[in-house]
Amino acid sequence: MTLPLSVRDISKSFVMHLRGGIELPVFSGVSFDVATGECLVLGGPSGVGKSSILKMLYGNYGVDGGSILVRHGETVVDLARAEPREVLDVRRATLGYVSQFLRAIPRVSALEIVAEPLVARGTERQLALARAGELLARLNLPRDLWHLPPATFSGGEQQRVNIARGFISDHPILLLDEPTASLDAANRAVVMAMIEEKKARGVALVGIFHDADVRDRVASRIVDVSSYSLRGAA
């Protein structure tokens, strides 16, 4: 049986055309596999490209070389080469992502934003909204905020909306970019428990955790990205 996620020899560099076309190599030769039920943590000091890897895994950043093989239903899709609509289909059904920052949509309430991935996968709307409410309650988001668009929420409140949105669906793969960064201890504990539940349900997770405490609690394995980094050499 194929692994949910297999990363082979990927490389990334940025060419900054507005700064005279200088090339900023980030990393090369990154390879790792993620099995079901494990949480792989990308480690290393800031600036080595952990976030860039996560964004490439989500199809958000382009991939210069190598392949990112995702088990998508009965098929395997290489996200490094996939067509936009294939990437979108993988995101809809297979790949969840909790980013550091919430991209709020004007006029759409927190509850709707959280429920959206479920609705997109065909869950009946009322059911999805109920499920969204449960998650927001668990993450202690005050109930009177649920029906407001999150644009004016605090950083921690927005982050909890973001987490709920990422965790609501049962995507087989979940990417986490500093999900606990702006949370207090109580909510951090909730998120850690939620990660453990995902692992128990066989979800493959890849995450970046700034907080060493959290990292050690949730990590099944840690891949040190600095060993692939080209930043020092640049």
Partner 1 sequence: MSEGPLLIARDVGKNYGNRIGCTDVSFDLWPGEVLAIVGESGSGKTTLLNCLSTRLNADRGTVTYRMRDGVARDLAALGEAERRFLMRTDWGFVHQNPADGLRMGVSAGANVGERLMAVGNRHYGRIRHCAEDWLNRVEIDVDRIDDRPRAFSGGMRQRLQIARNLVTSPRLVFMDEPTGGLDVSVQARLLDLVRGLVRDLGLSVIIVTHDLAVARLLSHRMMVMKEGRVIEQGLTDRVLDDPREPYTQLLVSSIPQA
Binding residues (CB under 8 A) for partner 1: these are 14-18, 21, 55, 59-62, 84-85, 87-89, 105-108
CB of 47 vs partner 1, minimal distance in Å: 17
State CA 2 to chain mean position distance: 21
Query: Residue 230 contacts by C-beta under 8 Å, 6 or more apart in sequence?
Result: 13, 25, 26, 27, 28
Nearest CB to partner 1, comparing residues 101 and 227: 101
Q: Which two tokens stand for residue 77?
A: 């899709």
Shortest Å distance, C-beta 80 to partner 1: 12
- Pairwise CA distance, residues 97 & 102, whole Å: 11
Pick 58 or 209: Cβ nearer partner 1:
58
Longest dimension (CA), the chain: 54
* Least distance in angstroms from the C-beta of 66 to partner 1: 16
DSSP 12: E
Q: From CA 195, how far away is CA 176, in angstroms rounded? A: 10
- CB-nearer residue toward partner 1: 76 or 193: 76
Dihedral sign for Cα 90, 173, 186, 133, please. Answer: positive
Reduce the secondary structure of 57-121 to three states and give it as a string: HCCCCCCCEEEEEEEECCEEEECCCCCHHHHHHHHHHCEEEECCCCCCCCCCCHHHHHHHHHHHC
Cβ closer to partner 1: 43 or 59? 59
Residue 175 CB, nearest approach to partner 1 (Å): 14
Nearer to partner 1, 16 or 234 (CB): 16
Q: How far is the CB of 224 from partner 1 (least distance, A)?
A: 24
Q: Which helix (H) or strand (E) covers residue 39, if one does?
A: strand 39-43
Q: How far is the CB of 214 from partner 1 (least distance, A)?
A: 26
Given the complex with partner 1, which of 88 and 130 has the nearer CB atom?
88
